[in-house]
Each structure stands twice: as C-alpha cells, then as structure tokens.
Amino acid sequence: MTHIYHEEQLKIMRQAIVRFNLEGPNFKLDALAQDLKMSKKTLYKCFDSKEMLLLEVVKELFLQIKEKEKAVYENNQLNSLEKLMGVLSVYPDYASFNYHKIPELKDQYPKIYAFVEVELEENWNQTLELLDQCIDEGYVGPISHDIFKIIFLGLYKQLLLTQHEAPDYLMRTCIETIFDGLKK
C-alpha cells in the first residue's frame, strides 16, 4: 500500500478487503474485528467509521493504479501506442480487490461510489495526450476525446459488472479489439 498508514491500519485495511471481496460492503465490523483478534473499539481508533475505512481502501487502490499508469508513461521502451494501450489496460488489479462489488456501494455508501465515479471519469489528461500523439504518429485515425472517453468508460463500467474467470485477459482483448478498429 502506498499511502502512509501505521501498521495497525494496514492490517485492518487488508482484512477489510478480504471481507469486502467475500461479502461486499455488507460485511460487519464485528466480524472484521474477530478476524483480526482485536476489539471493535480498536477498529474505531484507527478509522472513525466503516465508511471511512472503505473509502481509505478504495483511495489506496486507485493510488496503486495511478502508480502503475505512471510506470507505463515513463517506460521509454514503449512507443506511444503501446503506452496508450498499457495505460488503458492498467485499470483495476482484480487479484487484490473484487471490483464487481463496487456497484453495491451505490446505495449504502454513495460518497464512496461517487469517489469511484470521479476517479474513473477524471484525470484523463495524460491519456488523451497519448491519444493525440498516437494520432499524430499515424497509429490511430482521428477520434474526438469525448468519444474516446465514452468508449473506455463504458468498457470499464461494463467490466466492473461482469463476472469473468480472467478479467485481465478480457480487458486486454477488448482494448486490442477497440484499437484494431481505430488503427489507420
């Protein structure tokens, strides 16, 4: 995890992910405390509420995604098209967090769900710059930024809702198929 948390918070966050992966946002703090062999009071010393705990987990997961994107952007061994496809493929780390449970947050924790929506829909500047570079270099034909974002936001949101045994493969295949259609 990339943000500065103390060891007890990290331990709680890791186990909260396990519980979230199994039960979605309906997991009970009593069960989480029991898993960790600590009191519920200790949980509340580290996080004011279950909502705060879940928000910190989601924030941390998006920070990890951003770090992976940065590594792709800075990889000078990749051309602009490989970087663009790589950045778009970074999306979620399915192995550590069950993103299919995120839609369940909408009713119970609308602030967290809104945070996820903002993270998905904003911060496209570098990606769109890469798109422009790919267009300039002749890798893909012209496409408006708005259409490009709609296509990929639709893909990401659909993948969040789809149970698939190999989601990383499915995402990469979808992205490759889209780019096959965008190539000049």
Examine residue 131 and state whether it is found in any structural domain, yes or no.
yes
Q: Which helix (H) or strand (E) holds 130?
A: helix 125-136
Residue 140 three-state SS:
strand
**pLDDT(54) > 80:** yes
The CATH number assigned to the domain holding 76 equals 1.10.357.10
For CA atoms 152, 158, 161, 165, give the dihedral sign. negative
Cα separations (Å) of 33 from 38, 53, 63, 69, 98? 5, 13, 26, 34, 21
In the chain, % of residues over pLDDT 90: 52
Examine residue 42 and state whether it is found in any structural domain, yes or no.
yes
Examine residue 123 and state whether it is found in any structural domain, yes or no.
yes
Examine residue 2 and state whether it is found in any structural domain, yes or no.
no
User: In degrees rounded to 5, what are phi and psi of residue 63?
Assistant: -65, -40
Range of the domain at 150: 7-182
d(CA 144, CA 114): 26
When divided into structural domains, the chain yields a total of 1
Examine residue 1 and state whether it is found in any structural domain, yes or no.
no
**pLDDT(95) > 70:** no
Q: What are 135's two structure tokens?
A: 């267009």
pTM: 0.81
Examine residue 99 and state whether it is found in any structural domain, yes or no.
yes
